[in-house]
Structure 1
């Protein structure tokens, strides 16, 4: 529990403001526990109801989360502060980033000339050349592309879709384990997360059924190379999920295909399953560069129209300079060759580590699979179940490796660590597997398993 910061106030608004100030100024760090409701009420001489109201408001705004008997704690990524990833200590190999290998990213070449225009681009927010390329990109993989639009990346798009469809307090089904930034975003929008379990074929029908019957208003999932497990839909799994979702036509289904072009052929997609409300988001940060903040979006007429209506009232459009840059990259054969080389390298590097771990008796979620193939595992990460995340992270750190503890990717799923394999050459992967097995052995001797 935080002991250096004293929460002050006599009203719910004042208490919430005091906690927010502590978080903003760094006096309350992610994971710090707030005092129990009755204790804080006694200390301040106010009613427990006032404290409970303040904590409810803080939860609604994404500053704190409640962990059952663990009490109320500051969120891992509180909505009032920008939480940077921890610095990688000098001398360690960074396997925690989730980012692609720069060797397979093209040099970005914006247009040489950008002519000034009179007024704004609100009347024609999308370049026709990029719109046609985007339609072909989706249609190539069987995703209906009658209506497409653009956004400033996947999270920007998902936030806008959820904010126009849902109201504070509504429930959203999310993968567990899942993309950590999405798990931060949903509560920051004032929405409730309903965790849906993931296995080697993506979200499980049993867990999705529970979420749908509980009244979720939206489902956010990945069709392939899911983060952090690498799972991809099989045809059978996709069909089973689609059949369930068709019984709830008012539920919005958002697919985040962030691994397009770097994790093998498209897995079967819910977007092509005849759902009434759906959108698929495709970004280019993994294949073309993390600074290229552009996403293509396909969806049903209502969903696309609502997205665009909200965007026109805020940022208006994606920069045409950025759009011109994407057009050039999409049309360059040399870039296509570089992306294909990266895809092959990522599959090999992930496969080497998984096989080396399994040869040492270390199980991996999803297994090696066929990278990005139906029901297989792929992508840039490996999710390894462990009993004690801290012991494994710290043990690997002493051996020169920096991996991510699984806590930031989980809601209720079992403990694990995430390893990014994008830059992990074959010999390094085998060395890491040996070190990993040794660390697990030491943890078993210390903690009994």
Structure 2
């Protein structure tokens, strides 16, 4: 077994490094079983405790999981690299990427002049003009904007918050289904994920209560445009979640409002409810440019100090050229009008597909955002069937932990005129897959 899996080493660290290399190189694929502890110990000539320690380290880092009597196996998304989507086949319409329509993105024009900052940029990490725009952006939706800072995108910000707040082995409550890159990031930080069910209004309060009682130290959620289901908080849902969180004041609540300006839903942010530990993150990648890696963060004082302290010790600051570019776009009236048209178009396209699917008796979810989530029994059959008809959609396995199966369809570039044909093809594919299952 050890030779088959190319596992070597005489120390726990050496054994775990050997397994990690095999996973990264593809020698150990997701779902592959590792040898039982005693067997591998005998083959390597080490104690069972040494192998057990190696396996524990691999579990904590999200590379393997233990399935009771099923033994230790490579995780479905091992944290030695992000779970990349399959390559889009030639000749099909790509509805799997989750990206905005380029027609609604303004051109990026580098600023003609960015004034030099005397000494180190660490002394003035944020441009005053952009900081002012960010405060207005948050305050518009009732998010407290007394403490604002910047990051290199939403995931960069969330990762820094979790790594400064938690320690390896701690638990984080995440949406299920949820954003696949976040589901990669959490185990890569050595943290455990506790799934929380979502519906058309975001996190389900009782599911969140269960996770909090299980001892999670942080919660990461989306107030609107939830990916992939498209849920958005109503006032009632927000208030119910705040009530649940009220019993756990030490837990850090991170809201990822990543498509705030094009979600097609009003803001009912948890951050506006006076939580003791909170962070509200917004990025511009969905409405200004996927290449504009800038995010704004509003948060409580303790969280701000920890975030900026870690930022100071790593990248130090966000490029002032990048900040100036973002500020110019955010202050441009023509750009704001273009973003408004994008939000209207995305809502129309999302509703069109949901309506057309409903005509065929197919239930779908997408109250906000750029995607529609369709529950299906066999993800692979649906993806393959739609591919044969010229459509490429995302299998739900990338987004799920314990949630039921489904597929995600990005509607950002799907005009309403094409929704009827896709819905008809979808219904036909579902009929074929149901027939395979015997009805």
Q: Please give the TM-score of this superposition, normalised by the length of structure 2.
A: 0.95
1:341, distance to aligned residue in structure 2 (A) = 1.1
In the alignment, what sits opposite 1:373? none
- Structure 2 SS opposite 1:138: helix
Note if contact 1:92-1:397 (Cα within 8 Å) is conserved in structure 2. Answer: yes
Note if contact 2:350-2:372 (Cα within 8 Å) is conserved in structure 1. Answer: yes
Given the alignment of the two structures, is residue 398 of structure 1 paired with residue 388 of structure 2, yes or no?
A: yes
- d(CA) in 2 for partners of 1:415, 1:70: 22
- d(CA) in 2 for partners of 1:278, 1:70: 39
In the alignment, what sits opposite 1:12? 12
Note if contact 2:257-2:282 (Cα within 8 Å) is conserved in structure 1. Answer: yes
1:79, distance to aligned residue in structure 2 (A) = 3.4
Given the alignment of the two structures, is residue 237 of structure 1 paired with residue 227 of structure 2, yes or no?
A: no
C-alpha distance 70-132 of structure 1, shift in aligned 2 (>3 A): farther
- Structure 2 SS opposite 1:298: strand
1:278, distance to aligned residue in structure 2 (A) = 0.3
- Structure 1 SS opposite 2:149: strand
Any idea what the Cα deviations from partners look like across 1:348-405, whole Å, max 9, x if unmatched?
111111111111111113xx5xxxxxxxx11111111111111111111111111111
Note if contact 2:83-2:180 (Cα within 8 Å) is conserved in structure 1. Answer: no
In the alignment, what sits opposite 1:197? 197
Note if contact 1:148-1:298 (Cα within 8 Å) is conserved in structure 2. Answer: yes
Given the alignment of the two structures, is residue 389 of structure 1 paired with residue 379 of structure 2, yes or no?
A: yes
Which segment is superposed worse, 89-98 or 425-434? 425-434
Note if contact 1:171-1:193 (Cα within 8 Å) is conserved in structure 2. Answer: yes
In the alignment, what sits opposite 1:226? 226
1:442, distance to aligned residue in structure 2 (A) = 0.6
1:420, distance to aligned residue in structure 2 (A) = 0.7
- d(CA) in 2 for partners of 1:414, 1:323: 41
Any idea what the Cα deviations from partners look like across 1:98-142, whole Å, max 9, x if unmatched?
110111001011111345545321011000000010000000111
- d(CA) in 1 for partners of 2:212, 2:225: 24
Given the alignment of the two structures, is residue 426 of structure 1 paired with residue 413 of structure 2, yes or no?
A: no
- d(CA) in 1 for partners of 2:304, 2:125: 14
C-alpha distance 429-3 of structure 1, shift in aligned 2 (>3 A): farther
Note if contact 2:2-2:40 (Cα within 8 Å) is conserved in structure 1. Answer: no
In the alignment, what sits opposite 2:369? 379
Which segment is superposed worse, 114-123 or 160-169? 114-123
- d(CA) in 2 for partners of 1:431, 1:241: 39
In the TM superposition, 1:45-444 aligns within 5 A as: 46-67=46-67, 71-81=71-81, 84-365=84-365, 377-444=367-434
Note if contact 2:30-2:76 (Cα within 8 Å) is conserved in structure 1. Answer: yes
Note if contact 1:166-1:217 (Cα within 8 Å) is conserved in structure 2. Answer: yes
Any idea what the Cα deviations from partners look like across 1:133-184, whole Å, max 9, x if unmatched?
0000000111111111100011111111111111111111111111111111
Note if contact 1:2-1:32 (Cα within 8 Å) is conserved in structure 2. Answer: no
Note if contact 2:174-2:220 (Cα within 8 Å) is conserved in structure 1. Answer: yes
- d(CA) in 2 for partners of 1:22, 1:267: 45
Note if contact 1:175-1:196 (Cα within 8 Å) is conserved in structure 2. Answer: yes
C-alpha distance 270-69 of structure 1, shift in aligned 2 (>3 A): farther
- Structure 2 SS opposite 1:286: coil
1:429, distance to aligned residue in structure 2 (A) = 1.4
Which segment is superposed worse, 19-28 or 231-240? 19-28
Note if contact 1:187-1:193 (Cα within 8 Å) is conserved in structure 2. Answer: yes
Any idea what the Cα deviations from partners look like across 1:18-63, whole Å, max 9, x if unmatched?
1111123332334444334455445545444333321211122232
- d(CA) in 1 for partners of 2:385, 2:22: 33
Structure 2: runs of 5 or more not aligned: none
- Structure 1 SS opposite 2:409: strand
C-alpha distance 390-37 of structure 1, shift in aligned 2 (>3 A): farther
- Structure 2 SS opposite 1:288: coil
Aligned Cα root-mean-square deviation (Å) = 2.0
C-alpha distance 31-2 of structure 1, shift in aligned 2 (>3 A): farther
1:14, distance to aligned residue in structure 2 (A) = 2.0
